[in-house]
Amino acid sequence: MSANPTEQSVEALVRTSREDDIFIIQIHRPQKFNALSQDVRSQMVAAIESIRHDQSVRALVVWGGPEVFAAGADLEEMLTRTPMEAMRQINDGPDVTEALASLRQPTVVAVAGLALGGGMEVTLAADIRIAASTAIFGQPEINVGLIPGAGGTQRLSRLVGLGKAKEMILLGERIDAHEALRIGLVNKVVPLENLLNEAKSWARRLAAKPMYAMRLAKLVMDRGYDAELNQGLTMELLAFSAAFGTPDQREGTKAFLEKRQPVFPGTTR
């Protein structure tokens, strides 16, 4: 991997960097605890969309820095919002969670400090969640007379079960990193000083896998999770069959028979 990644800033609120085939997005609004204002969301979506069709990017890492991931929505923007304005903002505004969830490349979020409300909903939209021991998760919207509006009521229950999701959303209480690991909300907990490197390590492992199969597996799992079992099995069969037409499958099978490591198309390894 490159020892000196190139970095650039997308205005002041989102920073991006590239390390070979890994793309990194950092939320950077420390004076507001990385609250997800409309400008932050717009810049995050722009950063995600910039790699959507880039075949040279094989994995994405999202984090908020070592102190906080994102402490929810910007409440100052929401104070006087009407119901129609709220609906319009969700339907027409920049949708970070959908942009992240629909990305074909595998995604890893690295969480330090607070991941609350909309910040937690961003983590729910990723494929893999790595938490620092300092991480705190919560959906506290109920405490200000609201409910989650960016996927929290749906994605959280699919990850941790309906009972635990109801506990978190209806009580609006926070949980720490180790409880998040226990209930299956995060994949791993590491010391804070190891967080970003651990997330990059996961991203590199994912990036080394065959991208065609990766995309098919993500698509079938995401679309089939809440479908009827027979529908999900049909999707799986179609995707399994489609994989036989890919260069990944030919290289992987050939490498196995030749007792060597595969070099999948597009990898830098």
Catalytic residues: 121, 141
105 with 125: CB under 8 angstroms? no
Residue 175: C-alpha distances to residues 38, 65, 115, 186, 212 (Å): 27, 20, 10, 12, 36
User: HSE on the CB side for 112, CA within 13 Å?
Assistant: 21
Strands of 57-133 (E only): list them. Answer: 59-63, 70-71, 107-111, 114-116, 128-132
* Rounded CA separation 132/123 (Å): 13
* Rounded CA separation 176/2 (Å): 34
Residue 107: C-alpha distances to residues 25, 37, 97, 206 (Å): 11, 22, 12, 9
- H-run or E-run covering 262: none
Assigned token pair, 262? 């595969």
Residue 210's nearest CA partner among 253, 173, 169, 172 is 253
Residue type present at position 80: T
